[in-house]
C-alpha cells in the first residue's frame, strides 16, 4: 500500500541507511537490478513501497504468521484453496528465517507489515520485532509479481509497473473453501491486458502454478462482484489503455481477508503489494 507514511528507520540502521520518504522510488529502474539481499537490506533500514519489478527475476512471496494453534487451520486453508494460497515454505514455530532467503529476518526484511488482533488491523509497522511471539508459524505464499517477468517477455504490458503504482486488488463475491476456523472471500489482483496479448497472458501465467497460475476471470468485473475498478480494496487504481481487458488473478492477500472474516486472536502479514524478496529464481517455479 502506498500510505504516504514516513518510514521508520531500523534500529540497526547506520548513517548510510537508504531510508526514503516516498514508496514510489521502488519503481525506479535501479531497483530492478538490486539483488534480493540488497533489497531486503534496504527494507530492513526502513525503505517501503510496492515491490513489483524490484530485484527482477527473483521470486516474491506473501507472508502470514499465525499462532501455532491456528497453524493447522491455515495449512488446511491453503491446501483447499491452492490458487490464492500456493505455499512456498512453512516455518517452525518461532522461527524468523526461511530457506527461501539466506540471512533474511522475517520480522524486519519486508517493506511494511500488518498487525491483526481478533480480525482488526491495529498497526502497519516496518518492523514487527516488538510484536513477535515465539509461537508464531509463518507461511510464505506465492505472489503474482513473480510471473510478471514472463508476461513482459511475452509482450504483455505491466501497467502498474509502468505507472509506478501498486497492483490493484479486490475482494470478490467468491468464497474460498473453509478450513477449520478459517473462512473468507477470494481476493484477486487485476492487470489490464491488450486483447491481442490476452492469450499470452493466460498461457504464460498458467505455466507458473506455484505463484497463482492462470487467471480466474477475464472481462466484466461484475462477474466477481467488483463494482468499480477505480476503487480497489488494496493497492492503487491503474490507468488502462483503450481496449484493454481487465484480467484477474487469485491473490495472496486472500489469507488477510480470511483473518478479517475469521478473527483469530493474533496474526502478522505483509502489507498488500509489499512482499518478501527471496533468493529463488522465478524460472524455478515454471513447469514447462
Q: Are residues 73 and 204 in the same domain?
A: no
* Apex 53 CA angle, 26 and 24, nearest 5: 20
Say yes or no: 263 and 127 in one domain: yes
In this prediction, residue 32 carries a pLDDT of 86
In the chain, at which residue ranges do the beta strands (DSSP E only) sit?
Answer: 58-67, 87-90, 113-117, 120-123, 136-142, 169-175, 185-193, 217-218, 245-250, 267-270, 276-281
Q: Residue 157 falls within a domain, yes or no?
A: yes
- Please indicate, yes or no, whether residues 67 and 131 belong to a single structural domain of this protein: yes
- Is 248 among the domain residues? yes
Per-residue pLDDT, 31: 87
CATH number at residue 214: 3.30.2040.10
Q: What is the pLDDT along the chain (288 residues), one digit of tens a residue?
A: 332 222 333 333 333 333 333 343 455 668 889 999 999 999 999 999 999 889 988 999 999 999 999 999 999 999 999 999 999 999 999 999 999 999 999 999 999 999 999 999 999 999 999 999 999 999 999 999 999 989 999 999 999 999 989 999 999 999 999 999 999 999 999 999 999 999 999 999 999 999 999 999 999 999 999 999 999 999 999 999 999 999 999 999 999 999 999 999 999 999 999 999 999 999 899 997
Residues 6+ apart with CB under 8 A from 202: 214, 215, 218, 247
- Are 175 and 135 a contacting pair, CB within 8 Å? no
Domain for residue 39, yes or no? no
Say whether both 139 and 263 belong to one domain: yes
Whether 9 is covered by a domain: the verdict is no
Which positions ≥6 away from 140 have C-beta within 8 Å? 61, 62, 63, 87, 88, 89, 90, 98, 100, 276, 278
Strands, E, within 118-262: which ranges?
Answer: 120-123, 136-142, 169-175, 185-193, 217-218, 245-250
Which 3 state secondary structure label does DSSP give 182?
A: strand
The answer to whether residue 111 is domain-embedded is yes
> What pLDDT, on a 0 to 100 scale, did the predictor assign at position 213?
95
Residue 42 lies in a domain: no
Kindly state whether residues 241 and 149 are assigned to the same domain: yes
Q: Is 208 inside a domain boundary?
A: yes
Q: What is the CATH number of the domain that holds 89?
A: 3.40.1640.10
The answer to the question of residue 201 being in a domain is yes
- The number of folded domains in the chain is 2
Q: Clarify whether residues 248 and 158 are in a common domain.
A: yes
Does residue 81 sit in the same domain as residue 166? Answer: no
- In angstroms, the CA 272 to CA 131 distance is 19
| pLDDT value at residue 28 | 63
Whether residues 210 and 226 share a domain: the answer is: yes
- 127 and 167: one domain? no
d(CA 89, CA 141): 7
Q: Are residues 113 and 193 in the same domain?
A: no
Q: Which range of residues forms the domain containing residue 92?
A: 58-143+259-285
201 and 280 fall within a common domain? no
For residues 92 and 112, membership in a common domain is answered with yes
Cβ partners under 8 Å of residue 130, min gap 6: none
**What is the reported pTM?**
0.89
Amino acid at each position: 500500500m502506498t500510505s504516504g507514511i514516513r518510514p521508520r528507520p531500523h534500529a540497526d540502521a547506520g548513517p548510510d541507511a537508504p531510508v526514503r520518504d516516498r514508496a514510489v522510488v521502488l519503481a525506479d529502474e535501479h531497483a530492478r537490478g538490486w539483488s534480493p539481499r540488497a533489497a531486503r537490506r534496504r527494507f530492513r533500514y526502513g525503505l517501503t513501497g510496492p515491490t513489483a519489478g524490484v530485484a527482477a527475476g527473483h521470486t516474491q512471496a506473501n507472508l502470514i504468521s499465525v499462532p501455532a494453534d491456528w497453524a493447522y487451520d491455515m495449512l488446511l486453508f491453503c491446501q483447499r484453496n491452492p490458487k490464492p494460497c500456493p505455499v512456498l515454505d512453512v516455518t517452525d514455530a518461532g522461527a524468523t528465517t526461511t530457506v527461501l532467503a539466506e540471512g533474511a529476518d522475517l520480522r524486519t526484511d519486508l517493506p511494511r507489515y500488518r498487525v491483526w488482533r481478533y480480525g482488526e488491523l491495529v498497526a502497519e509497522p516496518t518492523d514487527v520485532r516488538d510484536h513477535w511471539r515465539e509461537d508464531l508459524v509463518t507461511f510464505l505464499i506465492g505472489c503474482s509479481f513473480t510471473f510478471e517477468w514472463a508476461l513482459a517477455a511475452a509482450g504483455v504490458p505491466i501497467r502498474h509497473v509502468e505507472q509506478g503504482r501498486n497492483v490493484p486488488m479486490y475482494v470478490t463475491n467468491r468464497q474460498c473453501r473453509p478450513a477449520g476456523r478459517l473462512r473468507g472471500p477470494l481476493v484477486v489482483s487485476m492487470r489490464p491486458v491488450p486483447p491481442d496479448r490476452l492469450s499470452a497472458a493466460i498461457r504464460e501465467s498458467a505455466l507458473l502454478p506455484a505463484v497463482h497460475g492462470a487467471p480466474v476471470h477475464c472481462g466484466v468485473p461484475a462477474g466477481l462482484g467488483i463494482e468499480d475498478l477505480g476503487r480497489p480494496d488494496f493497492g492503487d487504481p491503474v490507468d488502462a489503455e483503450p481496449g484493454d481487458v481487465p484480467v484477474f488473478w487469485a491473490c495472496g492477500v486472500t489469507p488477510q481477508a480470511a483473518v478479517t472474516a475469521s478473527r483469530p486472536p493474533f496474526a502478522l502479514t505483509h502489507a498488500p503489494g509489499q512482499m518478501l524478496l527471496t533468493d529463488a529464481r522465478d524460472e524455478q517455479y515454471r513447469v514447462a
